[in-house]
Amino acid sequence: MTKTLTQLPDRDTLAAMDDRYVWHPFTPHAVYRDEDPVMIVDAQGHYLIDADGTRMLDGVASIWCNAVGHRHPRVDAAVKAQLDRFAHATYLGNSSAPGVLLARELVERSPDGLDKVFFSDNGSTATEIAVKMAYQYFQQIDDGAQSQRRRFMALTNAYNGDTLGAVSTGGIDLFHGKFKDLLFEVVRGPSPYCYRCPLGLERATCASACADETVRLIHEHGHELAAVIMEPGMQGAGGIITYPPGFLAAVREATEEVGALLILDEVAVGMGRSGELFACAKEGVTPDLLCVAKMLTNGYVPLAATIATQRVFDGFVAPPAEGKTFYHGHTFTGNALGAAAALGTLEAYDEERVLEKLPAKIEHLRGAITRLADHPHVGDVRQFGLCAGFELVEDRATKAPFDPAERRGYNVCRFARERGVFLRPLGDTLVLMPPLTITVDEIDTLVDALAHGLAREFPSS
């Protein structure tokens, strides 16, 4: 038995063990071993290192969570310092210093009005908590009409995580359809999917009809809505679907008019991905509940936060006999190592002026990706902040998609590894989601690798 990680087995041994013992998420195991999966044993800065020694530029930030690079000295130091104290202590009715310090930092950096932090361990739990908070809040703030607010509204193509409340508000059939009998129904608004408009309109002549329809539905169901939940700026796992300007602000105004709460899932877009620390700030919006995870700890340790307004928090404050306590929690709530990693990450942001440097990188990415826009199998190119999506199609004229079984997106990303770049698609949408500290030269490397992958997958194009 391996008792230490100081001397790892060779790649073939690790691969055989992986195949024998591991069940991977979002992975078709019938073909997994045949597609030469990556086996990471080391990383440095923006690069992953495979067991065979291959270095790969991490073009998806290890699934959207590595903000300032692997083995970052500031984050490493914060975690190591915390290890010299303690690794974890319960937050259930007790507290510990790292989480308290992180809560203060998050509140001070969040949009004005967000005042209380509830910790959990990943994006799914952060959104699940927000859904439960919104539901319970209206059940106990009075005994009248407010207690009838028992429904939620979400958008088509939404992804808020994989726990059942988050799945209920999700709207991607591939991920969520099989579980429909376990889920609660939600009011479903149209996705702002301009390329395949659910309202049958054209981008050039549409005046944000998806936003208008969403606002109409909020008003129609306003009397029964506990909350509207959405990802601000873009729908990430839905395929890098970007919103028209003003969409979020219009939803915020409508929820305030009908008295419903607004939950913003910033798990993918928060912590700087948009160019602002929180994506909702781009439209001057403060939600009632804001969910963050992923880049919060630079991907070091699972940690998430649901940040609430004082108004929502006050709805749970009462003598114990009234039963208004929020009876929800996780063993690793407020985990000290996770909080230390998050504090180290925020220190790195400040010391390296990460947010200040983003606008130039975002503009460079905008220019770099234009070279792929005319490829005969790239139907649409979408960008939000420091990320981009390229939707592959079989026919640009008809927008006909490829048969998913052909796994064209996966193949392009596999070929991109020949140019030293690691990518992971969303079906047939290619995704660039690099660390925030990536250089402009490395952005060019990512785009070059995608161009190579497209040429290898479509040699006659």
CA distance 344 to 65: 14
Mean pLDDT, all residues of the chain: 95
Asked if the 11-68+353-457 domain carries CATH number 3.90.1150.10, the reply is yes
CA distance 269 to 267: 6
Give 393-429 pLDDT, tens digit per residue: 999 999 999 999 999 999 999 999 999 999 999 999 9
Indicate the range of 6-10, 40-44, 306-310 predicted with least confidence: 6-10
Task: Answer yes or no: is pLDDT of 1 > 60.
Answer: no
Share of the chain above pLDDT 70, in %: 98
Task: Answer yes or no: is pLDDT of 2 > 60.
Answer: no
In CATH, what class is 76-351?
alpha beta
Task: Answer yes or no: is pLDDT of 3 > 70.
Answer: no
Q: What is the pLDDT of residue 450?
A: 98
CA distance 232 to 250: 12
Q: Which residue shows structure tokens 């079984």?
A: 405
Task: Answer yes or no: is pLDDT of 297 > 90.
Answer: yes
Residue 108 CA to chain centroid, in angstroms?
A: 22
Q: How many CB atoms lie within 10 A of CB 166?
A: 27
| Contact call for residues 178 and 164 (beta carbons, < 8 A) | no
Give 213-236 pLDDT, tens digit per residue: 999 999 999 999 999 999 999 999
CA distance 187 to 303: 30
Answer yes or no: same fold for 11-68+353-457 and 76-351.
no
pTM of the predicted model over 0.85: yes
Task: Answer yes or no: is pLDDT of 285 > 80.
Answer: yes
Average pLDDT over residues 130-146: 90
Q: What is the pLDDT of residue 163?
A: 94
Both tokens of residue 298?
């630079």
**CA distances in angstroms from 207 to 192, 211, 245, 414, listed in the order given:** 12, 9, 10, 39
Average pLDDT over residues 19-41: 92
Average pLDDT over residues 176-187: 93
Domain boundaries, the chain: 11-68+353-457, 76-351
CA distance 113 to 99: 20
Phi, psi (degrees; rounded to nearest 5) at 95: -150, 170
Q: Which residue shows structure tokens 């429909």?
A: 180
Q: What is the pLDDT of residue 437?
A: 98
Q: What is the pLDDT of residue 146?
A: 80
CA distance 385 to 54: 29
Question: pLDDT band at 200, cuts 50/70/90?
Answer: confident
Strands of 62-156 (E only): list them. Answer: 114-120, 151-155
Q: How many CB atoms lie within 10 A of CB 369?
A: 21
Share of the chain above pLDDT 90, in %: 91
Helix axes 73-83, 336-351, angle to 10 degrees: 150
Task: Answer yes or no: is pLDDT of 291 > 70.
Answer: yes
Q: What is the pLDDT of residue 147?
A: 81
Task: Please name the amino acid found at residue 131.
Answer: V
Beta bridge partners of 56: 48
Give 51-104 pLDDT, tens digit per residue: 999 999 999 999 999 999 999 999 999 999 999 999 999 999 999 999 999 999
Beta bridge partners of 8: none
Q: What is the pLDDT of residue 281?
A: 97
Task: Answer yes or no: is pLDDT of 202 > 80.
Answer: no
Both tokens of residue 460?
């006659």
